[in-house]
Chains A and B, each alone.
Chain A
Amino acid sequence: MKKHSTYNCPACNTLHTITLELASLLICKNCGEIIQDGNSSDKPPRTRIPEDWSFLRIGSTGEFNKQPFKIIGRVRIQLRNDYKNFWSADNGRGECLWLMESFGSFAVFTSPWREYDKDASKLRAGNAIPVSSDVKLIGDYVEKSEGVSYEGELGPWKLFRPGFFLIQASANGNTAVFLVNKGNAEYLIGTILSLEDFKFQNIITWNEWK
């Protein structure tokens, strides 16, 4: 799905225009139908983002490395003891950056998905996890996914069905998130940041917490 290309929702015929240079998935803003190029065999099932207390939403804006971005989509992974929101953001040049958020903790990923060519069974909590010659991380946790839901326009993403494992590993401000499905591991590597670093705008202000 390329930038500026247009798609009509096959369910409700709503017109959508792609904003990223390369998008992997589009969820109809009107009816929630999943829209993909062609007749892809890995089309995920239609799911709705469950109601939660996220203060970000499609249309929220922020800054990363002093460059503005706009949130255009989300993948929500329900884990057994946690959840992860991966917010798909357009940096204004059609490039996607992923913001990972869970309970007020944030990381940003600008790298593409990479294949983890080492032994995926060693991706364990407490283990040293080398991701490159100069970056060695420590496993934080391993969690099995229970559900995945989508909204908006998504950059390149791994369309695994629920049941895959999510592993996060961190050290010295760096973090990586691995998705392991049937022994195959792919990962994003990025940086841990704080909420204040992003200078978010157009967020949901929950009245009860004012």
Chain B
Amino acid sequence: MSGSNYTITCKKCKAENPSRGKAMTIAMACPTCGTYFCVGQWNKDLINFNFSAEPALPIGSKGKFEGFVYEVIGFAIKQETKYHYRWREYLIFNPMRGYAFLSEYNGHWNFIWPVEEGHRRHKSDTDFFHEGHHYRLYQKYRAQVVYARGEFFFDIVGISDSTVNEEFIAPPFLYAVERDNDSLLWCKGEYITRNEVANAFAISVNKLPHKSGMGYTQPFNAGFKDESLIKFSIFLVFILLALQIFFVKSSTEKVVYEKSFYQTDLGDQKFFVTPTFTLEGASESLEIKIRAPLSNDWLFAEFSLINEDTGNEYIFTKDIEYYFGREGGESWTEGSNSGEAFLSEIPAGKYHINIYPEFSVSNHEFHLSVVRDVASMSNFFITIVGLAIFPIAYFIRKHILEQRRWSDSDYSPYATE
């Protein structure tokens, strides 16, 4: 079944206007003279708007949402009474689902529909939790209709004038409550993209208003939830930790060479040469540990690990410093008596080390030990830091965008920052 000859007579120009909403229509902007009026007997106001605009979604156009076809029945432009910003609301209707709204501001769209029950809370509350989401008060306002076209299932002008509105957001969702002495209407909404609106109405996205700024319910990232990112990051850290424990447990940490060196043994030479030592197994790590009895002193040495079979040379330096004292009644220390150099993937073979030390005035000795197959802690920490970069960057960016989202709100949680 379809079609209707239902008409509503304009209270001003007396034009017989076909009514799409039939007996459900409570108010209408006359297509002939533009006068807004209510159908019933109780409200005899006739309103002429000093403003006109073309809706991006024409009255009568149809769009499909979640499998249901909705028809645009009415269009209104509302203006907030304090800051005077304007937004557009499309009243859409499906006989099975009832009515809903498409609200558009700065090219950002929300699909909003009435819900049976609100969320019980104290009037002073500015937030509540529902279905795992934390809804926070974004705006509280009064509005007036500055333009209306089409038909409405309620007196949109009168209701807008008399109600106080509150909107709570948990992007991409929102809850809106419209309150006056006689009614308390809760609606739920969800952000939808321009493309989704264009696809629903089978029109080009270019026919819709261009997007600017950040929508107040625009999700930061629809790809994953914050909790998922945190849980996944923690999971990866645990995996890395388990791997590190495995590597530490399975490393042999075999001392292949160890000796103390004294400056007096250098004589005229500028460097020490260790005896040949053998590194066994596959390519594995090698740790060179150096220790000196430093007391407010330092030691520097250059090392050259030489593979006697291939002639390959691994050159590295090590600088250790250890200082201590008292200042202002407090004792302090800086540095350490020991240090180590870590070489990964050193092939098996016969090696020796040339050591080029630089001694200070008071220290004249050091102790060297060469340990084969040591688990690297630095790799572990570098990987942890690498893993942390994405979540940290994500949350910093989110924080910045959240500040931007809330910059138009009188209830911004970032207001003191």
Contact = CB atoms under 8 A, between A and B. Distances in A.
Q: Which of A126, A172, A175, A205 has the most CB of B within 10 A?
A: A126
B96 A82 contact: no
B181 A210 contact: no
A125 B69 CA distance: 32
A51 B6 contact: yes
A152 interface: no
B24 A52 contact: yes
A53 B71 CA distance: 13
Contacts of B180: 125
**Interface of chain B, main secondary structure:** loop
B64 to A, nearest CB: 10
Given A140-B184, A141-B183, A142-B182, A52 B98 contact: no
A20 B346 CA distance: 95
Given A78-B40, A104-B98, A205 B1 contact: yes
B6 A105 contact: no
Contact of B98 (A105, A140, A144): A105
A148 B6 CA distance: 19
Nearest to B158: A81
B99 interface: yes
Nearest to A205: B1
A143 interface: yes
B23 interface: yes
A131 B407 CA distance: 44
B120 interface: yes
Residue from the set A80, A102, A105, A170 with the largest chain B CB neighbour count within 10 Å: A80
B350 interface: no
A171 interface: yes
Contacts of A209: 68-69, 71, 94-96
A206 B22 contact: no
Interface string B114-131: 101110100000000000
Given A82-B154, A144-B42, A207 B21 contact: no
Interface in A151-191: 170-173, 175
Contacts of B41: 146
A55 B96 contact: yes
A103 B117 contact: no
B289 interface: no
Given A146-B41, A171-B117, A209-B95, A53 B21 contact: yes
B185 A78 contact: no
What is the size category of the interface that chain A forms with chain B?
A: 35 or more
Contact of B96 (A102, A104, A126, A138): A104
B364 interface: no
Interface in A53-95: 53-55, 78, 80-83
Contacts of B69: 208-210
B71 A124 contact: no
Nearest to B183: A141
A50 interface: yes
A64 to B, nearest CB: 17
A84 to B, nearest CB: 12
B23 A83 contact: yes
Interface in B354-375: none
A134 to B, nearest CB: 16
A143 B182 contact: yes
B42 A192 contact: no
Contact of B114 (A81, A105, A207, A210): A105
10 contacts: A53-B95, A102-B98, A103-B24, A104-B97, A104-B99, A125-B183, A138-B118, A171-B120, A207-B1, A209-B69
Top-10 shortest CB links A-B: A104-B98, A103-B98, A50-B23, A141-B183, A81-B154, A207-B2, A53-B95, A125-B184, A52-B23, A142-B182
Interface of B: 1-2, 4, 6, 21-24, 26, 40-43, 62, 68-69, 71, 93-99, 114, 116-118, 120, 153-155, 159, 179-185
Given A51-B23, A53-B21, A139-B184, 20 more contacts: A51-B6, A51-B22, A54-B95, A81-B153, A81-B155, A81-B183, A82-B26, A104-B99, A138-B118, A140-B185, A142-B182, A142-B183, A144-B42, A171-B120, A175-B116, A195-B96, A206-B1, A206-B95, A207-B1, A208-B62
